[in-house]
Amino acid sequence: MSELLNIKTLGQLKKTSYKSRSVKEELRANLINQLKNKEEGFEGIIGYEDTVIPDLHTAILSRHNTLLLGLRGQAKTRIARLLVSLLDEYVPYIEGSELYDDPLAPISWFGRNELATKGDDTPIAWVHRSDRYTEKLATPDVTVADLIGDVDPIKAATLKLTYADERVIHFGLIPRAHRGIFVINELPDLQARIQVSLFNILQEKDIQIRGFKLRLPLDIQFVFTANPEDYTNRGSIVTPLKDRIESQILTHYPRTLDISRRITQQEANLTADQLANVESDGLVKDLVEQIAFEARDSEYIDKKSGVSARLTISAYENLISNAERRMLINGEKNTFVRISDFLGVIPAITGKIELVYEGELEGPAKVANILVGKAIKTMMLQFFPDPEKAKKSKKGNPYSEIVSWFSEGNTLELIDDLSLAEYKKALNSVTGLKELVKQFHPRLAENQQLLLMEFVLHGLAEFSQLNKGFLNKGFTFADMFDSLFNLQADDEDLEDDRY
């Protein structure tokens, strides 16, 4: 390749083994080599190894234009951008051409004129694959001129040309993507009349601009993305256009907690200090992912809108930052994420869920707290016995000593910014709590032990064994029945304020 980059004229290019090929043939050939060599493609895409990626491979091998259809936050745009890696690293073009004209097959007036006047001395330049990618977000204000092109009166006046000369045309984004990949995101948002302008490009491979008898055999790999929600809420893909897009590939959310966790850990934008000073246990990482799983199955959330993977990424970043904030306030050198730090993920949840009517009645903050609670309840069963079954067990209830401590009138407040010493003292004051954790998880570091001790309290509250109240900066735990009979009006107001 380095030798080819030294080629500066068409004559020199003809003496090499270079042969023109379409962008679809280029993608196909490079994918074939990748598959034969068992190389990993689409780096950073997790969870699609057995579903989306094989379908995409098939579409590329078939030389198809592609529609990626799925809910928000399913890596559609990222997949489209990674297609660039299947292009040749460099390809030659006629120097000065705005359409990256192939020196062996120019399509523009400029390219044809260069070859006609300069022949083998036509200057050649090389374009990197990163410059052969064009992306456009479909919005209602996009025009045919933006995508296809229009007559430029200033160019006509400057060059002293009539409007019958094709040189007065100002090309839009699509012609300028010639010999490359062109992506339109959120295709249904494009007005129907604009979608119609794409018909000829996809089928006949040419464009039409006003009254010009212009046929440019454009060489483009089209990739479209769309959200099924758009079909009902904002627009639709017109049927003839959809018919011309040869392959439609369905994306999906992570199907397991492990895959979801790997995505979050890969994408979370944490600083070096956060990574070094804030310890994050596997439990809290899984809890973050479980929140998204609970949200996707919640009766309060619009399932057609979806719950983006960005929710767990933002939530995890907030979780770490909340713990870091406490560390800085207390002048500590390091810390670990606590269950109480999940108060910090509420803002990351509320902005990323679309509520149905029932959810609107509850309010986004309360729904977010409900989701966190359900995630804790689900994860509780993976670490400890079911509190409901344990209560009825003939072998004895392992939680009885803890529940009894609260039934004797004791309460526990876990404020968000407690120092490690205060946090440890508070948890150790609950009779039987430390012994319970040791019974089921005997080999834990102190931080993990404290985390699980707090986790047990939250879990028992979710199973209605304890009462959990919300403070301005934390939680309070008390006996379930005593709290029911002695709930004051101020407490009710406090809960309402919290939500």
Residue 183 has phi, psi (to 5 degrees) of: -115, 130
- pLDDT recorded at residue 119: 94
- pLDDT recorded at residue 213: 66
Extract the tokens encoding 499. 């939500």
- Model-level pTM? 0.86
- pLDDT recorded at residue 498: 44
d(CA 224, CA 346): 33
Distances (CA, A) of 244 to 38, 143, 149, 179: 32, 21, 21, 20
Among candidate residues 455, 474, 336, 368, the one with its CA nearest the CA of residue 414: 474
d(CA 459, CA 452): 10
Extract the tokens encoding 473. 């900066």
Extract the tokens encoding 45. 């895409």
Extract the tokens encoding 244. 């011309």
In contact, 186 and 226? CB cutoff 8 Å: yes
Q: Which domains does the chain have, with CATH numbers?
A: 4-141+175-250 (3.40.50.300), 254-383 (1.10.8.80), 389-499 (no CATH)
Among candidate residues 168, 184, 222, 230, the one with its CA nearest the CA of residue 200: 222
- pLDDT recorded at residue 17: 86
In contact, 7 and 16? CB cutoff 8 Å: yes
d(CA 354, CA 481): 35
- pLDDT recorded at residue 280: 94
Residue 130: Cβ within 10 Å count:
10
Three-state secondary structure readout of the chain: CCCHHHCCEHHHHHCCCCCCCCHHHHHHHHHHHHHHCCCCCCCCCCCCCCCHHHHHHHHHHCCCCEEEECCCCCCHHHHHHHHHHHCCCEEEEECCCCCCCECCECCCHHHHHHHHHHHHHCEEEEEEHHHHEEEEECCCCCCHHHHCEEECHHHHHHHCCCCCCHHHEEECHHHHCCCEEEEEECHHHCCHHHHHCCHHHHHCCCCCCCCCCCCCCCCEEEEEEECCCHHHHCCCCCHHHHHHCCEEEECCCCCCHHHHHHHHHHHCCCCHHHHHHEECCHHHHHHHHHHHHHHHCCCCECCCCCCCHHHHHHHHHHHHHHHHHHHHHCCCCCEECCHHHHHHHHHHHHCCCCECHHHHHHCHHHHHHHHHHHHHHHHHHHHCCCHHHHHHCCCCCCCHHHHHHHHCCCCEEEECCCCHHHHHHHHHCCCCHHHHHHHHCCCCCHHHHHHHHHHHHHHHHHCCCEEEEEECCEEEEEEHHHHHHCCCHHHHHHHHHHC
Q: By CB neighbour count within 10 A (0-12 exposed, 13-18 middle, 19+ buried), where does 17 fall?
A: exposed
- pLDDT recorded at residue 321: 96
d(CA 42, CA 64): 18
d(CA 152, CA 145): 10
Distance of CA 131 to the CA centre of its chain: 24
Per-residue pLDDT of the chain (499 residues), as tens digits, is: 667 788 999 999 999 888 999 999 999 999 999 999 999 889 999 999 999 999 999 999 999 999 999 998 999 999 999 999 999 999 999 999 999 999 999 998 899 999 999 999 999 999 999 999 999 999 888 988 899 888 777 877 887 777 667 777 888 899 999 999 999 999 998 888 889 888 878 877 767 776 666 778 889 999 999 988 655 445 688 889 999 999 999 999 999 999 999 999 999 999 999 999 999 999 999 999 999 999 999 999 998 888 999 999 999 999 999 999 999 999 999 999 999 999 999 999 998 999 999 999 999 999 999 999 999 999 999 999 999 998 887 788 999 999 999 999 999 999 989 999 999 999 999 999 999 999 999 999 999 999 999 999 999 999 999 999 988 889 999 998 765 555 444 444 444 444 4
